[in-house]
C-alpha cells in the first residue's frame, strides 16, 4: 500500500499561515472521513492534532485547522509560532481496513 503524498518541507514566518497537503486515492483519503494529522517534535512521540478530517482533540490550539476535498486533505497552521516547528504526518483509513501514513512534512518557522 503506497504512502500518502505530502510535501517534504514547508516554511513560514512567525505570525503567518502555512498549509500542508496530503494526497491519497479514493481507496483511502477520498473514501473515508478518517483523516488524522500528527505533530512530532524531534526525539518525541507523535501527538494527535486533528482527527476525522477536521476535529481537534481537547487541548489542541485552534490555530490548527484541517479540511478535505476529494482525495486531498489539508492542514493549516495559522499564527505560526516557533514551537510549531516540527514534522507533520497525515494518516487515513483505507479500504483494506488498515491505516496508511503520509511521508511526513518538515515545517520550518523562519
Determine the Cα–Cα distance for residues 39 and 62; give it in Å rounded to an integer.
14
Q: Determine if 103 is a binding residue for another protein (CB under 8 A).
A: yes
62 neighbors 79 (Cβ within 8 angstroms): no
Q: Determine if 1 is a binding residue for another protein (CB under 8 A).
A: yes
| CA-to-CA separations, 20 to 49, 71, 89, in angstroms, rounded | 13, 14, 9
The neighbour count for residue 72, using CB atoms within 10 Å, is 17
Q: Determine if 107 is a binding residue for another protein (CB under 8 A).
A: no
Least Å distance, CB 76 to another protein, is 18
Nearer to another protein, 19 or 32 (CB): 32
Query: Interface residues with another protein (CB under 8 A)?
Result: 1, 3, 32, 34, 36, 38, 40, 45-48, 51-52, 55, 57, 87, 89, 91, 93, 96-104
Amino acid at each position: 500500500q503506497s504512502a500518502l503524498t505530502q510535501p517534504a518541507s514547508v516554511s513560514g514566518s512567525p505570525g503567518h499561515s502555512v498549509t500542508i497537503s496530503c494526497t491519497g486515492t479514493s481507496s483511502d483519503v477520498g473514501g473515508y472521513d478518517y483523516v488524522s494529522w500528527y505533530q512530532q517534535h524531534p526525539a518525541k512521540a507523535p501527538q494527535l492534532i486533528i482527527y476525522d478530517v477536521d476535529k481537534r482533540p481537547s487541548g489542541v490550539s485552534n490555530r490548527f485547522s484541517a479540511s478535505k476535498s476529494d482525495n486531498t486533505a489539508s492542514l493549516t497552521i495559522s499564527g505560526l509560532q516557533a514551537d510549531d516547528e516540527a514534522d507533520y504526518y497525515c494518516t487515513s483509513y483505507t479500504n483494506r481496513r488498515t491505516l496508511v501514513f503520509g511521508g511526513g512534512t518538515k515545517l520550518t518557522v523562519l
